[in-house]
Chains A and B, each alone.
Chain A
Amino acid sequence: MRLIQQHALHKIGISKEEALEALQVVRQECAGDAAKTAGGSDSTRKCTALELLEEEHAQGFIITFCSALDNILGGGVQLTKITEICGAPGVGKTQLCMQLAVDVQIPECFGGVAGEAVFIDTEGSFMVDRAADIATACVQHCQLIAEAHQEEDHLKALETFSLESILSHIYYFRCRDYIELLAQVYLLPDFLSEHSKVRLVVIDGIAFPFRHDFEDLSLRTRLLNGLAQQLIIIANDHKSAVVLTNQMTTRFGQNQSMLVPALGESWGHAATVRLIFHWDNTQSLRASEMCSLHLSPKMQKVLK
């Protein structure tokens, strides 16, 4: 179908323009059939930058309740993009993921996106009681706002926004090795089409299954790249944010060593936004967290 040779055209007796038109009609019909069967995922992928701008303005952010972090992210975690959180052990990556899983459910009248969350855990670090604490604090915060402003829709939203509803809308999956993780991610589109309110997919510990027991490094690169593309498709088609956490590894330079995110150079291209957390010189535990935006399409400043 793709190759139109001159002699074939002469044989059929039509001109090149007519052949191109015929191809377009066939292509549209095929796309129409595919749309009926697959849910029309690729028919809306072509648009002008102006339309995209309007879409972006209308999209919300998932706020993190830390204003410095929200500032450098440009308002919060963006939907339809992949955000990667890297940091040394103990810096707070899983906590941030749990916070985001609760924050995505904040009703729209309070400034949230009113969505549900999928939490894929590979390290077993998800603590339900900690998530319950975060959820309770969030509900209390919203109640304070509602009391201060006293509006109708605030009070109505608060009726459905409770601890039980928050915890019941976090879909938790536990994957023990890389095969389970890959299977889960590749099966996720089906799950998301059934639960269309999901707006956040968290994969806590994407480095862990791939770092040990992997002898064939080129296979690892291929699997990771395929995984990255699948995650981008999920983020785009279902208008949800994908958040990944990554570990740090040491790279030896000529006379120094640095902490860099794990999984190699090619994985660095998977995420659109990369947050790197590290401690600064003072020993105080949470008080001074420096966070710099390593890759961002929008902001290139380092914020302290």
Chain B
Amino acid sequence: MVVLRAGLCPGLTEEMIQLLRANNIRTVVDFVSSDLEDVAQNCSVSYKVLVAVRRVLLAQFSAFPTNGADLYEELKSSTAILPTGSPSLDQLLDAGLYTGEVTELAGAPGSGKTQVCLSIAANVSLGLRQHVVFLDSTGGFTASRLYQMLQARVEDREEQMEALQRVQVVRVFDIYEMLRALHEVRDCLSQQVESSAGLLKAVLIDSVSAVLSPLLGGRQSEGLAIMMQLARELKTLAKEFSVAVLVTNQVTRDNSTSALKSALGRSWSFVPSTRVLLQGRAAPWEEGTAHTACLAKSPRQVGSGYGKGRCGCGAVGCRVSLPRGTHCNGRVADVCY
């Protein structure tokens, strides 16, 4: 909502502003959407001048359409794909985490979400030598586990130490602290953009539901508003600075089908472009340590389901191999890390 002021464009003088304001035209939107003949009559301003000002304002403030080819070129040059370190998970995600997008990892307690995040941090920091910001809201980040993963990948102690230094951990236990931390990351990035090529490539948030679920539900609706503000922050961060944003989410049990689905409700389901559901062992004392990952929503995979990406069991080309009732697209991979 840009307010009309003198100097916004040539021809818009202080006098004209006062006359327009007397007729309730205060912002650019008011000006552009009003009928100029009426305005010319009421404000006793020349019609030609108004038309000229309108043309300049539209040129300055409206969005420009681009064609698909330019968009594709821009996407090719600015998007990077970060491998996660687990080949089967990469295959599920269509080669890895895409920068410029928000990816979500949901799972029951103990299914391995924090482990996958640590593994991605280790991979990006060691393999790609890029910086990673890890926002920890559950207290689950253990540096010794990250160190173990690095030790498993490379032998040289120097490299391990350097990789550890490239991972920055911020502990945020409240939604407002999380928003502030994201603002700081954004400021840091916009200051760096001129100097270096932007070394930060991944922002991992574990977990988003821990800070949002105390606010949702009940009769107050501010929780939903804050959730959408967080969503907007994440998407702007991903899009403007070409970073890959990964968030982890809890699961809740669906009342009717008693299947597991991601928490935070339907409003949040539109925020990430890719959603992966992790499943671990059924009971803690059972043998076997294989975890499975299931793709619940994806903009790229074949057979992503018609409509909202829910159980696409009837869609053509979609292989269903999970029990009835789970929300999935039938693409399942065994993940080992």
State whether these chains interact: yes
Residues of chain A within 8 A of B145, CB atoms compared: 297-298
For residue A197, CB closer than 8 A to chain B, the reply is no
Residues of chain B within 8 A of A50, CB atoms compared: 143, 161, 164-165
A-B contacts at CB below 8 angstroms, number: 153
Q: Mark B100-127, 1 if CB is under 8 A from A, else 0.
A: 0000000011100011001001000000
Q: List chain B positions with a Cβ less than 8 A from chain A.
A: 2, 5, 8, 108-110, 114-115, 118, 121, 134, 137-148, 161, 164-174, 177, 181, 183-184, 187, 190-191, 207, 209-211, 213-218, 250-253, 260, 263, 282-285, 287, 289
Q: In the complex, what's the smallest C-beta–C-beta distance from B94 to chain A, in angstroms?
A: 27
For residue A52, CB closer than 8 A to chain B, the reply is yes
From A7, A236, A268, contact of B171 by CB (8 A): A236
**Complex-state Cα separation, A228 to B214, whole angstroms:** 10
Q: In the complex, what's the smallest C-beta–C-beta distance from A246 to chain B, in angstroms?
A: 12
Residues of chain B within 8 A of A27, CB atoms compared: 184
Indicate if the CB atoms of A265 and B253 lie closer than 8 Å: yes
Residues of chain B within 8 A of A53, CB atoms compared: 143-144, 146-147, 164
**Complex-state Cα separation, A53 to B162, whole angstroms:** 13
Residues of chain B within 8 A of A7, CB atoms compared: 2, 5, 8
Indicate if the CB atoms of A290 and B285 lie closer than 8 Å: yes
Binds B, one of A149-157, A167-175, A272-280: A272-280
Q: List 22 A-B contacts (CB under 8 A).
A: A17-B191, A20-B187, A42-B177, A45-B177, A48-B166, A49-B143, A49-B167, A50-B161, A52-B143, A52-B169, A80-B139, A218-B217, A228-B210, A232-B139, A233-B174, A265-B252, A266-B209, A272-B139, A274-B110, A290-B285, A300-B115, A302-B287
Residues of chain A within 8 A of B250, CB atoms compared: 265-266, 269
Residues of chain A within 8 A of B139, CB atoms compared: 80-82, 232, 235-236, 272
Binds B, one of A124-132, A184-192, A204-212, A219-227: A219-227
Given contacts A50-B161, A266-B252, contact A294 B138 (CB under 8 A): no
For residue A165, CB closer than 8 A to chain B, the reply is no
Given contacts A50-B165, A297-B142, A302-B284, contact A45 B170 (CB under 8 A): yes
Indicate if the CB atoms of A297 and B251 lie closer than 8 Å: no
Q: In the complex, what's the smallest C-beta–C-beta distance from B42 to chain A, in angstroms?
A: 26
| Other A-B pairs beyond A49-B167, A219-B218, 8, CB < 8 Å | A16-B190, A49-B146, A50-B165, A229-B174, A229-B211, A265-B252, A276-B285, A295-B109
Those 9 A-B pairs whose CB atoms lie nearest each other, nearest first: A268-B109, A52-B143, A53-B143, A226-B214, A50-B164, A49-B167, A45-B171, A295-B110, A297-B142
For residue A179, CB closer than 8 A to chain B, the reply is no
Of all chain A residues, the one with the shortest Cβ separation from B150 is A49
Q: In the complex, what's the smallest C-beta–C-beta distance from A160 to chain B, in angstroms?
A: 32
Q: In the complex, what's the smallest C-beta–C-beta distance from B165 to chain A, in angstroms?
A: 5
For residue A148, CB closer than 8 A to chain B, the reply is no
Residues of chain B within 8 A of A143, CB atoms compared: none
Q: Mark A217-252, 1 if CB is under 8 A from B, else 0.
A: 011011001101100110110000000000000000
Indicate if the CB atoms of A300 and B214 lie closer than 8 Å: no
Q: In the complex, what's the smallest C-beta–C-beta distance from A34 to chain B, in angstroms?
A: 11
Which of A47, A53, A272 neighbours the largest number of chain B CB atoms within 10 Å of its CB? A53
Residues of chain A within 8 A of B213, CB atoms compared: 221-222, 225, 266
Of all chain B residues, the one with the shortest Cβ separation from A46 is B170
**Complex-state Cα separation, A268 to B190, whole angstroms:** 38
From B108, B114, B285, contact of A265 by CB (8 A): B108
**Complex-state Cα separation, A248 to B191, whole angstroms:** 52
**Complex-state Cα separation, A264 to B255, whole angstroms:** 13
For residue A95, CB closer than 8 A to chain B, the reply is no
**Complex-state Cα separation, A240 to B234, whole angstroms:** 32
Residues of chain A within 8 A of B253, CB atoms compared: 264-265
**Complex-state Cα separation, A47 to B285, whole angstroms:** 36
